[in-house]
């Protein structure tokens, strides 16, 4: 990965020291790497460290600070089941358990074929549609027994 810090940072680069410029593009570099691989592979982080002349420990320290970056491969579909109060009361655990059982994975895991990653979230912000889940960016609300089967079919239907 070859990044030219002055091109990325722009005119602000004139007031920054070279080390600050290099550290300033780390987040952008992480986003690009994760966009390409769907996570941050160790080899890519090593190359980034070398190319920017930033210690690998500092690269990892920065990446681990942000929850948006992942260090293991993630599925092509990210399923997030809301476990907030409204969703919990309306049966989110049944939805979660059905998906876990169907794909033989636990919360936070990815299927071996990288088809999906299962996560839980505290709130999606659609409490009136509880229980709610998302498939990537698509919101699925009012999930009952029939709808959870439809969600499973969507996940399988790559």
Res 131: pLDDT: 96
Contact predicate 120/81, CB 8 Å? yes
pLDDT of residue 155: 85
127 within domain boundaries:
yes
| 66 Cβ contact partners less than 8 Å away, ≥ 6 residues apart | 27, 30
Mean pLDDT of the chain: 87
Question: What confidence tens digit (pLDDT) does each residue in 103-131 have?
Answer: 999 999 999 999 999 999 999 999 999 99
Q: Are residues 46 and 85 in the same domain?
A: no
Tell which of 34, 65, 96 closes a domain: 65
Are 17 and 43 contained in the same domain? yes
pLDDT at 25: 86
Q: How far is CA 139 from CA 71, 115, 133, 135, in A?
A: 26, 18, 6, 7
Residue 129 belongs to what domain range?
Answer: 77-156
Residue 39 confidence (pLDDT) above 90: yes
- How many CB atoms within 10 Å of residue 18? 11
Cα radius of gyration rounded to whole Å, the chain:
20
Domain count, the chain: 2
Residues linked to residue 116 through DSSP beta bridges, in sequence order:
77
Provide the whole-model pTM.
Answer: 0.75
Q: Please check whether residue 70 lies inside any domain of the structure.
A: no
Q: Is the pLDDT of residue 85 over 90?
A: yes
What angle in degrees, to the nearest 10, is found between the helix axes of 56-65 and 42-52?
120
Position 20 confidence tier, pLDDT thresholds 50, 70, 90: low
Q: What pLDDT does 13 receive?
A: 47
Let me know whether 82 and 109 are in one domain.
yes
Structure tokens at 1: 């990965």
């Amino acid at each position: 990965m070859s990044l030219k810090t002055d091109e990325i940072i722009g005119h602000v680069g004139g007031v920054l020291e070279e080390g600050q410029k290099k550290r300033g593009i780390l987040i952008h570099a992480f986003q690009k790497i994760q966009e390409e691989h769907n996570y941050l592979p160790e080899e890519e982080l090593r190359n980034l460290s070398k190319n920017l002349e930033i210690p690998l420990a500092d690269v990892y320290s920065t990446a681990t600070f942000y929850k948006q970056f992942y260090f293991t491969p993630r599925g092509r579909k990210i399923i997030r089941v809301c476990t907030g109060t409204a969703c919990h009361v309306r049966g989110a655990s049944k939805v979660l358990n059905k998906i876990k059982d169907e794909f033989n994975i636990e919360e936070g895991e990815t299927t071996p074929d990288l088809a999906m990653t299962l996560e839980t979230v505290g709130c999606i912000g659609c409490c009136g549609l509880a229980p709610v889940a998302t498939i990537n960016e698509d919101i699925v609300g009012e999930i009952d027994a029939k709808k959870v089967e439809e969600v499973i079919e969507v996940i399988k239907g790559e």
